[in-house]
Amino acid sequence: MFYNFNLAGGSVWIRRPFSWGARMNLFYSNKKLKKDGIFKWSLPAGLVDQGGTCIGAGACLKFCMFKKIYKFRGPRCIGAHKRNLELARSPWFADICIYELQARRVIKRLRVHDSGDYFDQDYVQAWARIAQAVPRVFFYSYSKSAGGLDLDPLRSLHNYRVIESVGGRWPVDRRRVHSIVLPRGADRIPAGYADGSVSDLVALNSKRIALKRI
Ligand code: SF4
């Protein structure tokens, strides 16, 4: 099966990647993000040697909500995340994302990773290329990969925001945009932090974000 993509340099035919199936939409939403018109892109959560993409995972592994989600929703959810990873490693990844974002004008905000993380520098560069090609979309990510990869190509873009998350294997520079996860049961948001638990819009414009543990 081949798909026709109208890319910047003209129209090209690209073979449907591997096990990607007939599905064409890469970007979806969920209950929390949908009300704010935010779409998302997901990769497998967890350590790399266990099939995940979270090169900076640390203490967060204990409270990662995707452990629960994978258990609850099972192979269907894991399979979808694995297919996304397969595509993310393919040479067509950036072009296919650009094609979808240009075609689906309803997508104005994209959370890159509601699960998983930036796993290598080529993948970071692919997102920088995607964001540059679709400047009307605002991209953002919570990430624990900043200690292992150069995320400046994303930070330097006017339509991309990287929020470093505390709880990984590398320390976070708290002078930068960052997020913390509150201990279970804590409902008081620390002074200077915005509560990002109810709406992800907070992630778009706050410098310090506190998330309550689910
Ligand atoms: S980095 Fe995020 S998605 Fe990955 S294991 Fe930690 S909490 Fe889960």
Q: Which residue has the higher pLDDT, 8 or 151?
A: 151
Q: What percent of the chain has pLDDT over 70?
A: 88
Say what angle helices 75-88 and 65-73 make with each other, to 10 degrees. Answer: 120
Query: 11 CA distance to ligand 1 centroid (A)?
Result: 38
- Whole-angstrom distance, CA of residue 71 vs CA of residue 85: 19
- Whole-angstrom distance, CA of residue 84 vs CA of residue 194: 31
**pLDDT by residue (tens digit) across 19-68?**
454 445 889 888 889 999 999 999 999 999 999 999 999 999 998 989 88
- pLDDT attached to residue 76: 85
Pocket test for ligand 1, best of 48, 50, 66 (most atoms within 8 A of CB): 66
Atom of ligand 1 nearest to the CA of 52: 4
Q: Please provide the DSSP assignment of 145-189 as one string.
A: -TTTS--HHHHTSTTEEEEEESSBSS---TTSSEEEEPPTT--PP
Q: Is the pLDDT of residue 147 over 90?
A: yes
In short, whether 61's Cβ falls inside 6 Å of ligand 1 is: yes
- What are the C-alpha distances in Å from 175 to residues 152, 164, 172? 15, 10, 9
**pTM for this predicted structure:** 0.89
Average pLDDT taken over every residue of the chain: 89
Pairing of strands 194-195, 208-211: parallel
- pLDDT attached to residue 13: 55
In short, whether 143's Cβ falls inside 6 Å of ligand 1 is: no
- pLDDT attached to residue 22: 46
- pLDDT attached to residue 14: 57
Pocket test for ligand 1, best of 117, 166, 178, 211 (most atoms within 8 A of CB): 117
- Whole-angstrom distance, CA of residue 113 vs CA of residue 69: 15
Cα atoms in the 13 Å half-sphere on the side-chain side of 104: 19
- What are the C-alpha distances in Å from 30 to residues 6, 25, 99, 173, 200? 29, 14, 22, 30, 11
Q: Is the pLDDT of residue 214 over 80?
A: no
**pLDDT by residue (tens digit) across 89-124?**
999 999 999 999 999 999 999 999 999 999 999 999
